[in-house]
């Protein structure tokens, strides 16, 4: 079964802030066909809003044009799925859109740096029963056996 991955906003942001870090390497692996990337419009909207925050722009020394280029690269590689926003599974309701995207997009993996998503045993059991695993960037890189040096 091909690996379809939902990448949490926090992973995309980390990749934007550090283009040489593990999140950026994971995203590059998706862009080069090691797995497919599933997303939704609310996740892309959230990503753009976060990247345009003054604090993020200062850290990266980025301009709005840099964000636009990054977002265009994201949009070019993701498979968009429709979501309703009606799902309620996570203890943090803001994370439900990630999970709904995974369910609607037939994803097999949700990769996140958010422990509400990766370490909530009740949630991970519910998702596992639906064929979805929640893991960290490093665990997915290890599983894919990608050279991250």
Of 95, 115, 45, 116, give the one whose Cα is nearest residue 74: 45
Tell me the per-residue pLDDT of 62-83, one tens digit each, with 9 for 90 and over.
999 999 999 999 999 999 999 9
Instruction: Indicate whether 78 belongs to any domain.
Output: yes
What is the domain range of residue 80?
4-144
pTM of the model: 0.87
CA–CA gap between residue 59 and residue 51 (Å, rounded): 10
- Asked if residue 88 lies in contact with residue 96, where contact means CB atoms within 8 angstroms, the answer is yes
The number of distinct structural domains making up the chain is: 1
pLDDT at 118: 64
100-110 residue pLDDT tens: 899 899 999 99
- Note the pLDDT of residue 149: 44
Residue 149 maps to a domain: no
Q: What is the CATH number of the domain that holds 19?
A: 3.40.50.1010
């Amino acid at each position: 079964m091909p690996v379809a991955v939902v990448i949490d906003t926090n992973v995309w942001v980390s990749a934007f802030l550090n283009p040489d870090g593990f999140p950026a390497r994971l995203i590059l692996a998706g862009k080069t066909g090691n797995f497919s990337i599933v997303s939704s419009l609310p996740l892309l909207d959230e990503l753009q809003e976060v990247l345009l925050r003054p604090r993020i722009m200062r850290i990266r020394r980025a301009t709005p044009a840099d964000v636009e280029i990054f977002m265009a690269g994201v949009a070019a590689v993701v498979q968009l799925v429709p979501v309703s926003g009606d799902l309620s599974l996570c203890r943090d309701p803001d994370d439900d859109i990630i999970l709904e995207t995974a369910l609607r997009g037939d994803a097999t993996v949700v990769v996140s740096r958010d422990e509400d998503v990766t370490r909530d045993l009740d949630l991970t059991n519910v998702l596992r029963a639906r064929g979805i695993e929640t893991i960290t960037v490093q665990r997915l890189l290890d599983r894919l056996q990608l050279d991250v040096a």
